[in-house]
Every structure is written in C-alpha cells, then in structure tokens.
Amino acid sequence: MIIIGICGASGSGKSTLAHELADAIGSGCTVINHDCYYKDHSYLPFEQRCLLNYDEPDIFDHDLFLEDVNLLLSGQPITRKAYNYPEHRRDDTDELIQPPQVLIIEGIHVFYDKRLCDLMFLKLYMSVDTDICLLRRIERDINERGRSIENISAQYLTTVKPMFDKHIRNYIELADVIVAHGGRNARIKDILAGYVRGELAK
C-alpha cells in the first residue's frame, strides 16, 4: 500500500487535492481526513467543547489514527471515523474501509507524528497565501459547518493563526513536494497521479 500525506494550513486546498488526486489515480485509492480523528470530548458540555483549541496538535488522537493506518497496511479493514463540526463531537460510523492500493491522508497536523510520517511514500505540502486560506475557511465554515462570521473570526485570531505560525508553517520542511495554487492544480495532480500509477505498476 502506498501512503500519501497532504499537509498545509486550514483552507489551503488539502481536501480538494486529495480527492482530485484520488480521482486521477483511479480505483483502489482511498482518502481519509485527519479531522475525523479529533479526540472525543462528548463528555464535556457543549459550551466547553466550543472553547477547545481545535488547531493544536494534541487535540487529535494520533495513536488511534496510526493504529488504523497500520491495520490497513496489514490488510485489515477499519471503520470510518467521522466528526460532527456543529456539535463539536465525534460521530463515528460502522462503514468499513477496506485496505486500498493507495491511501491518501490529509490534515493540518498530518505531519506531526513522526511514526506516521515514516510510513508515507510521498509527503505534499500546500503552500497558499494565508489571506486566501482565510477567505476559503470563512466560506467553508459558513456554508458547511453552520458557523457565524463572529465565531470564525474569533477562532482564527485565537487558535488558527497562532497554531499555523507555531506548527503548521514549519511542516513544509518535511515535504517531498510543495504544491502551489491550491488543490485544483491540474498540472501537479496529473504529474503526481502518473508518478503513483508508475510506482503501482512496479
């Protein structure tokens, strides 16, 4: 199984590139979003869950994520994890993910765990202007996650930007390929898909 990691700022186009690349590679490719592996804080009142820092590395269950990736590597299926953004809680499913030929994993801290990085065949970093990332985040959070502009603004200033400056911008040093212009970069998508298909043919 070939593992591809895609990292970068919130709103940089990680999910878009992951799915565009998966479509270009074809059947046998699965995408898993690291955001689905937020730690479960459903035991906390909703008001307290709203105050958690969802942009720091420790908010993710890195051990569970690694465990699932290793299960797929060993040929065993896993259940698809999910997250309910409006309610800030885990919302896992019983859907089975079978071991694919190519696994694409994406998220803001997907390069944080060295154990996971060591399993990646290819590491991609999305390099996009932070102003563009913010505009994309605003559009996504309003349309897909039911959040207000006030909530988005407060979260950006208190957690998103500080965690980008402290952690996420530095992950570029771990990347094999730096992707510019966001997730709809058709040229890089075709180049990467051809490269991966060539590796599979070997």
Query: Domain boundaries in the chain?
Result: 2-201
- The residue ranking higher by pLDDT, 49 or 128, is 49
CATH number among 3.10.270.10, 1.10.150.80, 3.40.50.300, 3.30.565.10, domain 2-201 = 3.40.50.300
Q: Which three-class secondary structure state does DSSP give residue 199?
A: helix
Nearest to 109 by CA among 144, 159, 47, 71: 159
Taking alpha carbons only, the member of 200, 199, 177 closest to residue 188 is 177
**pLDDT, the chain, mean:** 93
Q: Say if residues 2 and 124 touch (Cβ distance below 8 Å).
A: no
Question: Is it the case that residue 182 has pLDDT exceeding 80?
Answer: no
The two most distant CA atoms of the chain are separated, in Å, by 53
CA–CA dist 90, 120 (Å, integer): 26
Please report the pLDDT score of residue 186 as a whole number. Answer: 83
pLDDT tens string 159-173: 989 999 999 999 999
**How far, in whole angstroms, is CA 87 from its chain's centroid?**
20
- Contact in structure between 82 and 34 (CB atoms under 8 Å): no
Q: Residue 154: its pLDDT value, please?
A: 84
Handedness of CA 109, 126, 75, 89 (dihedral sign): positive
pLDDT at 5: 98
